[in-house]
Amino acid sequence: MESRWGDLVIFDYELNFPDAAPLELELYSLGLMRAPEVLLGDTVPLGIPRRPGILDVEAGRHDAWLADVAEASGSLAWARVLRTRFEAILAGLRRGLDCWEQTDGPLPELDLLVGPLLDLMALHTLNWVLPLDTYTRHFADLLGDPELGRQCLLAQLTPAAPAHMVDFHAYVLTSAQAATDGADLTALAQALSEEIGYLQQQGMAEVPLERPREASSFLQRVAAGHADGGIEGELAALLTAQQRSRRRRDSLYAAALLAASTDAVRFDRTNAMAIVCRVAAEEEEQRKILQQRALRAVRQIGERVGIDASGATLAQLGAAVTRARGAQEPEGQDELAGIPAGGQRS
Amino acid sequence: MTDLVDLSAAHDASRFGNKAANLARLIGAGIPVPPGLVVPVAGAVSPDAVERIVLWAREHAPWGLVVRSSAQREDSGGASYAGMFESLFCPVDAEALERAIRAVQESGDSERVRLYEQALGLRGQLSGLAVLIQAAIRPHASGVCFSQWPTGTDGFRIESALGLSTLLLQGEVLPDVVEGSADDRRDTTRSTAEKYVIPLPALPVELDLLPGEWIEGHSRHLGSWRAKLAYSDPDEGIVYLRPPQGWEKLPALPSDAEDALLPLGGRLTELYGNPALDIEWVYDGDGRIWIVQVRPATAAASAGVGGAAPTQAGSGQPGELVGRSAAPGLVDGVTEVVEDPARSAEFTPGRILVSGPARPELMPAIVACTGIVSADAGLLCHTAIVARELGKPCVVGVHEALELLPTGTPVRLDGSGGTVRPLTAGEPAARAAEAARFDVDPSRSVVEVLAGVAALTDPPVPRPGTVAQVLIMDRDLLAAAEQDAGPLLAAGTTLSGFLLPPEPPGAGRSAAPAAIAAACSRLPLGSLGDVLWTQPPPPPPYDVVVYDTDDRALFHRHIPAARSDS
């Protein structure tokens, strides 16, 4: 994704997401721009956007930022602030989505949705900025074994809430079982298409499972595949596996804390690393769900304000929302009205 | 004034070297060869000559120049000197051209040439190096054709790569390989390598672009294309592109170009009276194949080509693929590739799943498999997270997994080491490397240490011999208890106590939330710190243990009986 070119580090999300809509690409590059602020409180944006999905970052700034994150990432105070911020961002984004998913009221501010969404995308950098090798060494030193150190790190990188794919699967199995037991298939399919259908594939475009008819066929196929029973057993096995993995995470954490229990500094670093790992894993899962849900909302916003969101940038969508809200744009006003600070302004 | 000769007239190998003389011969025979000029052996290159070459290039070389050696002994049957001398691309620019010519001339005296000649007993026999300057062709594909493969047969072998063949010849990319019989193409075999990069000679305007920009082109069989610039080398005038979407797995050389190349190879063998030639060719994407070098096949050249079996560097085990450890565990099994997640319900239980990017519909296969190899990268990719959650050994970032581990391949997957490799017949079953854990002596009493808020409401069932379960308090739990001690006090009916975190040196005893301290007795847990005991503490001796999920100990400390004088 990123390449070093002279004194630039170029982040090119077009490579990872060749079929993504411009707005979807912007979420990544503008989110990255905001990462120093969201992670470290540094209000200077990272880099200069070249176009949606491409960010050019001066190499010195990039390296200094990574070093700052690495240094902070062993601090318990930072870990706690990070977790608090993450929870606040999630709550804010859910509120924004709830507002925008109410289709019968007046149009809300786009920033209610886009602001926390970009902050969440900024946190998505946690999946590559963290010095996980340092973490592994720390755990290995405590536990006296490199293999255990690696296992401890991997265990801490398990989210507290079920991973979205597991949740999705459990939802599908439960609905299929209900259909087999005689519940109203149409209602089940309608619920599936509304509640989790958008998770089927990445991107803004409508996916088959968002359509109740497709969802119905899908549920019927799953039910037919379990005609001999076994859904309850599969659900129970999922739950057992999840409990086991969480218990293992806690056991390894207990062992690491106990090994550090005579040294307050190492104890606090262990505590900090566990928090950061869990935030990173949680972010990956919750971000995926909320990002997809937000893209669905953006598509619907486009329909409400008369713009094809699949070809629009955030600025264009913001302008369309502003127009639709009846606010007359003053002459010469910044076209990025409606986009929160830290967006594509440089 | 430097004597510059048009390549088509450079027949005299003693003045222009073997390579130029060979190419001149081909031009004379009507074989397509990129136009060029030759600086004869021992010719100093004056600024005036450089200027003349630049003027010539502006007319004949829109994609820049390639500056190559042409030695008298080069490309002969006894010694190919393949790769011994510099061969450089350069833009049409006087300064760059002069630098390239000088570098090629100086390469005649390099250490590697000295060692090569010493090895072949040729030292001192190289009597001069001419310099050949040709127009660069902007190729769709290029490569090597061995007109007789293996030696003494009527077989052929074509190796090809997208764009220039520079990376292929340096062994930095895997070639597509076609082998078969030249007469009737019977038993033709093909292997197509995954493409990562396309090196191309560039227009000056393209060299000014930043990575991430798009470069456009056209080829006869694939139509208009655009490819993303990954990197460029302004000194050589070359851009390195990422293959356009969908090209990664296509053969570099289209079939009609392959059909044209083989007869051309036949003509060359007739022309040289030698059935075994190494032919370097360039396909321009517009239906034309150019020949850029011909030399008699040498033992060294044949042996150096090697097979096309793709490998990724690993620990040395044959065929081992290296990714990243995403979920621990070692498992042997048979692979099953799931390319279409919508069909994952058809996955055979007990096999090892090989998959691309995660999608929720992949879950039935993830549930049914015994391990996962994923092309997805990163310890926090969704596949990795789910694998850990479900306890499946998993390696991520094996980019070629879908191609290299087809359904039905017996493999050993090492989720801890981050590797996967084919199993050989009769190989003993996998045994995981043991992490440092301990068996707990069943005759001893155990104080089990737990962590995590889940232990407050749902502690594990005590194992036989466990006399107490205590919860280690991290700073979070301590802060939460200071706000509201209720959950901890409630847990005091099932847990025996709470192990306090250490304080920094000089800070005194560990602080304890007042509400809990009032309800508990504070006593040490050996040397591990103070416990707020909600229940009567067990008397030593006992073992302090953290159990793993398999009942073995991750942490173990024996606390002896208190001495009577202590």
Among A15, A144, A157, the residue with its CB nearest the CB of B388 is: A157
Q: Which residue has the higher pLDDT, A148 or B314?
A: A148
Rounded to a whole number of angstroms, the distance from the CA of A232 to the nearest CA of chain B is 14
| pLDDT at residue A90, rounded to an integer | 97
Residue of chain B minimizing CA distance to A11: B212
- Average pLDDT of span B430-448: 79
pLDDT beyond 80 at B42: no
> Do the Cβ atoms of B380 and A249 come within 8 Å?
no
Rounded to a whole number of angstroms, the distance from the CA of A245 to the nearest CA of chain B is 5
* Across A192-196, B203-207, B294-298, B362-366, least confident range: B294-298
d(CA A5, CA B236): 16
How far is CA B163 from its chain centroid? 19
Amino acid letter, B346:
E
Q: What percent of chain B has pLDDT over 70?
A: 87
| pLDDT at residue B302, rounded to an integer | 37
pLDDT beyond 80 at A130: yes
> Do the Cβ atoms of A262 and B502 come within 8 Å?
yes
pLDDT beyond 90 at B355: yes
Longest distance between any two alpha carbons in chain B, whole Å: 107
Distance separating the N- and C-terminal Cα atoms of chain A: 22
What residues of chain A lie within 8 A of the CB of B361, using their CB? 200
For β-strands B176-181 and B394-396, DSSP reports them as: unpaired
What residues of chain A lie within 8 A of the CB of B345, using their CB? 221-222, 225
pLDDT digits (tens, 9 = 90+) for B146-183: 998 877 788 889 999 999 998 887 777 888 999 988 77
pLDDT digits (tens, 9 = 90+) for B461-514: 999 899 999 999 999 999 999 999 999 989 888 899 999 998 877 766 677 888
Interface test with B, best of A10, A257, A277, A288 (most B CBs within 10 A): A257
pLDDT digits (tens, 9 = 90+) for B207-262: 999 999 999 999 888 999 999 999 999 889 999 999 998 898 899 999 999 999 99
Output the DSSP codes for B438-467.
B---TTS-EEEEE-STHHHHSPPPPPTTEE
Rounded to a whole number of angstroms, the distance from the CA of B106 to the nearest CA of chain A is 29
pLDDT category of residue A1 using cuts at 50, 70 and 90: confident
Amino acid letter, B505:
P
Contact A307, A314 (CB under 8 A): no
> Do the Cβ atoms of B450 and A250 come within 8 Å?
yes
What residues of chain A lie within 8 A of the CB of B393, using their CB? none
Closest among B333, B282, B11 to B163, alpha carbons compared: B282
Residue B381 to residues A17, B67, B352, B395, B398: CA-CA distances in angstroms?
A: 15, 46, 18, 11, 13
Rounded to a whole number of angstroms, the distance from the CA of B274 to the nearest CA of chain A is 47
Among A50, A199, A254, the residue with its CB nearest the CB of B450 is: A254
> Do the Cβ atoms of B454 and A234 come within 8 Å?
no
pLDDT digits (tens, 9 = 90+) for B195-221: 999 999 999 999 999 999 999 999 888
What residues of chain B lie within 8 A of the CB of A221, using their CB? 345
pLDDT category of residue B313 using cuts at 50, 70 and 90: very low
pLDDT digits (tens, 9 = 90+) for B188-199: 888 898 899 999
d(CA B447, CA B445): 7
> Do the Cβ atoms of B546 and A254 come within 8 Å?
yes
What residues of chain A lie within 8 A of the CB of B365, using their CB? none
Residue B113 to residues A101, B260, B279, B298, B430: CA-CA distances in angstroms?
A: 72, 36, 22, 17, 49
d(CA B92, CA B72): 27
pLDDT category of residue A346 using cuts at 50, 70 and 90: very low
3-state secondary structure of B137: coil
pLDDT category of residue B314 using cuts at 50, 70 and 90: very low
Among B212, B325, B385, the residue with its CB nearest the CB of A284 is: B385
Interface test with B, best of A166, A277, A285 (most B CBs within 10 A): A166
3-class DSSP string for B245-290: CCCCCCCCCCHHHHHHHHHHHHHHHHHHCCCCEEEEEEECCCCCEE
Q: What percent of chain A has pLDDT over 70?
A: 94
Q: Which residue has the higher pLDDT, B301 or A9?
A: A9
> Do the Cβ atoms of B390 and A241 come within 8 Å?
yes
pLDDT beyond 90 at B81: no
Cβ neighbours for A144, distance < 8 A, ≥ 6 positions apart: A259, B436
| pLDDT at residue A345, rounded to an integer | 33
| pLDDT at residue B308, rounded to an integer | 35
Interface test with A, best of B392, B476, B478, B555 (most A CBs within 10 A): B555
Rounded to a whole number of angstroms, the distance from the CA of B327 to the nearest CA of chain A is 7
| pLDDT at residue B280, rounded to an integer | 92
| pLDDT at residue B67, rounded to an integer | 95
d(CA B156, CA B276): 9
> Do the Cβ atoms of A143 and B474 come within 8 Å?
no
Rounded to a whole number of angstroms, the distance from the CA of A271 to the nearest CA of chain B is 6
pLDDT beyond 70 at B303: no
How many contacts (CB atoms, under 8 Å) link A and B? 212
Contact A121, A24 (CB under 8 A): no
Output the DSSP codes for A99-136.
HHH--SS----THHHHHHHHHHHHHTTHHHHS-HHHHH
> Do the Cβ atoms of B378 and A158 come within 8 Å?
no
Cβ neighbours for B309, distance < 8 A, ≥ 6 positions apart: B191
| pLDDT at residue B517, rounded to an integer | 87
> Do the Cβ atoms of B436 and A147 come within 8 Å?
yes
Among A201, A247, A268, the residue with its CB nearest the CB of B549 is: A247
Residue of chain A minimizing CA distance to B528: A261
**Looking at residue B322, what DSSP letter applies?**
E
Interface test with B, best of A143, A175, A251 (most B CBs within 10 A): A251
pLDDT beyond 70 at B309: no
Residue B338 to residues B52, B312, B341, B389: CA-CA distances in angstroms?
A: 60, 22, 6, 20
pLDDT category of residue B284 using cuts at 50, 70 and 90: very high
Interface test with B, best of A147, A192, A210 (most B CBs within 10 A): A147
Rounded to a whole number of angstroms, the distance from the CA of A322 to the nearest CA of chain B is 32
Ranges of H-type helices in B323-462: 363-368, 382-390, 401-404, 454-457
What residues of chain B lie within 8 A of the CB of A255, using their CB? 546, 554-555
Contact B232, B209 (CB under 8 A): yes
Interface test with B, best of A9, A154, A198 (most B CBs within 10 A): A154
pLDDT category of residue B120 using cuts at 50, 70 and 90: low
CA dihedral B48, B49, B51, B57 (to 10 degrees): 170
- Average pLDDT score over chain B: 86
pLDDT beyond 90 at B46: no
| pLDDT at residue B127, rounded to an integer | 62
Rounded to a whole number of angstroms, the distance from the CA of A23 to the nearest CA of chain B is 18
Q: Which residue has the higher pLDDT, A19 or B117?
A: A19
pLDDT digits (tens, 9 = 90+) for A281-321: 999 999 999 999 999 999 999 999 999 999 999 999 999 99
Asked if the peptide bond before residue A108 counts as cis, ω within 30 degrees of 0, the response is: no
Cα–Cα–Cα angle for A155, A160, A166, nearest 5°? Answer: 90
Contact A103, A328 (CB under 8 A): no
pLDDT beyond 60 at A45: yes
pLDDT digits (tens, 9 = 90+) for B391-428: 999 999 898 888 889 999 999 999 988 999 999 888 87
pLDDT category of residue A329 using cuts at 50, 70 and 90: very low
| pLDDT at residue A309, rounded to an integer | 96
pLDDT digits (tens, 9 = 90+) for A260-269: 998 999 999 9
Residue of chain A minimizing CA distance to B381: A284
d(CA B191, CA B158): 11
Contact B130, B15 (CB under 8 A): yes
> Do the Cβ atoms of A148 and B554 come within 8 Å?
yes
pLDDT category of residue B41 using cuts at 50, 70 and 90: confident
> Do the Cβ atoms of B388 and A8 come within 8 Å?
no
What residues of chain A lie within 8 A of the CB of B557, using their CB? 258
Q: In what order do the strands lie in the sheet with B289-296?
A: B189-191, B176-181, B155-162, B141-146, B277-283, B289-296
**Gyration radius (Cα) of chain A, Å:** 22
> Do the Cβ atoms of B455 and A250 come within 8 Å?
yes
Q: Is B550 exposed, middle or buried (0-12, 13-18, 19+ CB in 10 A)?
A: exposed
Residue of chain A minimizing CA distance to B418: A150
- What value of ipTM does the predicted structure carry? 0.86
Rounded to two decimals, what is the model's pTM?
A: 0.83
Closest among B520, B523, B512, B508 to B481, alpha carbons compared: B512
Interface test with A, best of B355, B390, B483, B551 (most A CBs within 10 A): B390
What residues of chain A lie within 8 A of the CB of B211, using their CB? 3, 5, 10, 12
Rounded to a whole number of angstroms, the distance from the CA of B378 to the nearest CA of chain A is 8
Q: Which two tokens stand for residue B115?
A: 């060692």
- Average pLDDT of span A331-343: 46
CB-side neighbour CA atoms (13 Å) of B275: 11
